[in-house]
């Protein structure tokens, strides 16, 4: 699956993330990011006039050990993410506003 960087996963899902502020356990510092809140590593950048999600730890070696790196869907390895496709096409636009979560501090209690 090819992530389209809509940021949905980094906000909506509870996920184990690398966290330098957490206690070290088995040689790694990690915490659980609650569902409905923007990950502390998430920011929004603009490329070619489009706002996309940016993971601040995507390139550190330890990232490869995280659930984020292993996240996948049924389908061809290079197929675009179906959720991300619907969001970037605007079909979920009324449900998901990346900037509101990342920069506005919005939380989704339904997650
Ligand atoms: S660590 Fe990166 S990919 Fe994982 S939830 Fe946070 S911003 Fe998203
Ligand atoms: S929903 Fe898909 S495109 Fe959006 S962040 Fe998750 S994997 Fe990437």
Does this model's pTM top 0.85? yes
Ligand lying closest to the C-alpha of residue 35: 1
Q: Strand, coil or helix: what is 32?
A: strand
- Using CA positions, which residue lies closest to atom 8 of ligand 2? 3
Q: Give the pLDDT confidence score for residue 73 in this predicted structure.
A: 85
Question: Would you state the structure tokens that stand for residue 25, as one six-digit string?
Answer: 């356990």
What is the tens place of the pLDDT at every residue in 38-91?
999 999 999 998 889 999 999 999 999 899 999 988 889 899 999 999 998 888
Ligand lying closest to the C-alpha of residue 88: 2
Determine whether the shortest distance from the Cβ of 81 to ligand 2 is under 6 A: yes
Q: Give the pLDDT confidence score for residue 93 in this predicted structure.
A: 67
Determine whether the shortest distance from the Cβ of 102 to ligand 2 is under 6 A: no
- Using CA positions, which residue lies closest to atom 1 of ligand 2? 84
Average pLDDT, the chain: 92
Question: Would you state the structure tokens that stand for residue 68, as one six-digit string?
Answer: 């984020």
% of the chain at pLDDT higher than 90: 75
| Residue 8, pLDDT above cutoff 90 | yes
């Amino acid at each position: 699956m090819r992530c389209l960087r809509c940021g949905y996963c980094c906000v909506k899902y509870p996920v184990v993330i690398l966290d330098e502020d957490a206690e070290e356990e088995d040689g790694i510092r990690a915490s659980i990011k609650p569902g409905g809140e923007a990950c502390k590593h998430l920011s929004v950048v603009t490329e070619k006039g489009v706002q996309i999600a940016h993971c601040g730890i995507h390139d550190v070696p330890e990232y490869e050990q995280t659930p984020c790196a292993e996240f996948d869907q049924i389908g061809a390895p290079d197929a675009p993410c179906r959720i991300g496709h619907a969001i970037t096409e605007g079909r979920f636009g009324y449900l998901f506003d990346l900037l509101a979560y990342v920069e506005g501090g919005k939380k989704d209690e339904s997650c």
